[in-house]
Amino acid sequence: MSSLSSKQPRLKHLAKLRVKSTAAKTAGGPCSVALTNLLSCWASNGHDAPTCANFAQELKICMATRPTVKAGKSSINYHAARLKDKVSPPPYD
């Protein structure tokens, strides 16, 4: 048995201990389809085209009725920063 196997390996000193969010980012909100339709209409027909008025009205209604939901923020990075000194070894001498 070698002498290395009996020793615990030392971890590299960490300046910060952070966890990246694993939550999947949404590609858009509930009004993204209405916005895409309006932008496509403008690209095809021009900015002041009367054919795009219904898409603009649809987007205005969607934005007005959209609920504002604030997502809860994870506290994992707060606890990681608080416990960093217990997890990370002291710097090498």
User: Is residue 34 included in any domain, yes or no?
Assistant: yes
The domain of 34 spans 30-66
Does a structural domain hold residue 83? Answer: no
What pLDDT does 25 receive?
Answer: 63
> Is residue 59 a contact partner of residue 35, using CB atoms and an 8 Å limit?
yes
Give how many domains the chain has, as a whole number. 1
- How high is the pLDDT of residue 61? 94
Residue 22, classed as helix, strand or coil, is coil
pLDDT, one tens digit per residue, over 38-87 is: 999 999 998 888 999 999 999 999 989 877 777 777 788 888 888 877 77
Instruction: Establish if 35 belongs to a structural domain.
Output: yes
Residue 1 in this model has a pLDDT that exceeds 70: no
Dump pLDDT digits (tens) for 15-51: 776 767 666 666 677 888 999 999 999 999 988 889 9
The whole-angstrom separation of Cα 25 and Cα 71 is 12
In a domain, 43, yes or no: yes
The confidence score (pLDDT) of residue 79 equals 82
